Amino acid sequence: MIMLCSLLILLTNSSFTEVNESWEEAYTNKETVIYTRTTESGIKEFKAITTMDVSIETVLAVMVDYSSHTNWMRAIDKCDLVKQVTSRTRYLHYSIDMPWPLWDRDLVSKSTFYPQKNGSVLMKMKATPTVKPNRSDYVRIVDSEGHWLVTPLSSNKTKIIYQYRADPVGIPPTFVNMFLLEAPKASFEGLEKQVRLSKYKNSNLDWLYH
């Protein structure tokens, strides 16, 4: 169940049509609020918002460090670099461990970081299933899209918005929705621990402007 919940951290489908265009608050705790809305398929989309007492440089250093994704995204069994296009754009291949009797999934995702005029940084993610050949031992996720919006509130406080929706391929919407809130909660909890590691302490944003 934990693995299935964690899978939802990654999944979102850009082709879905929202039935309920208004976000509804589904969870709140301390610095975190999570909203959901229902798509035409019946699978819910989430938007999670939190703040962390670290710099934006630190948060982004964790996000750009794809080798750490297996540490704070629990369903990710492996994350490999497929292609580095620029310092801000790359293609990643995720291997996703699923509980029996489900087949393991994999995802090829393009991610690009976009600096904003107000000092925020938007990181968009979108499935690019044809960039890497399919593997017979995985079910390839072909539709996923989402973003992270990271905004500095001060030199040591950052607001984070994480929005994602997807077709998880063969998993009934009712079952997906049962565990939807666990995904962003687990992601934020993992990220909170990761940003405390000393290797990210003196990070900068030079890579963002190359």
Predicted confidence band of residue 4 (pLDDT cuts 50, 70, 90): very low
pLDDT tens figures, 164-203: 887 778 888 888 788 888 888 999 999 999 999 999 989 9
Domains in the chain, start-ordered, CATH in brackets?
2-209 (3.30.530.20)
**pLDDT exceeds 50 at position 10:** no
Residue 15: the pLDDT is: 39
pLDDT average, residue stretch 120-145? 93
Residue 46: the pLDDT is: 92
Predicted confidence band of residue 119 (pLDDT cuts 50, 70, 90): very high
Amino acid at 104: D
Contact 69, 3 (CB under 8 A): no
Percent of the chain scoring above 90 in pLDDT: 61
**pLDDT exceeds 60 at position 125:** yes
Peptide bond preceding 101 in cis form (omega within 30 of 0): yes
The pTM is what?
0.86
pLDDT tens figures, 54-107: 999 999 999 999 999 999 986 888 999 999 999 999 999 999 887 778 888 899
Residue 85 has phi, psi (to 5 degrees) of -85, -50
pLDDT average, residue stretch 27-51? 90
What the block records as the tokens of 122 is 């938007």
**pLDDT exceeds 70 at position 9:** no
pLDDT average, residue stretch 139-163? 94
What do you get for the CA distance between the two ends of the chain, in Å?
A: 41
The rounded mean pLDDT for the chain is: 87
Contact 87, 207 (CB under 8 A): yes
Residue 24 has phi, psi (to 5 degrees) of -115, 130
Residue 90: the pLDDT is: 97
**pLDDT exceeds 50 at position 18:** no
Residue 21: the pLDDT is: 62
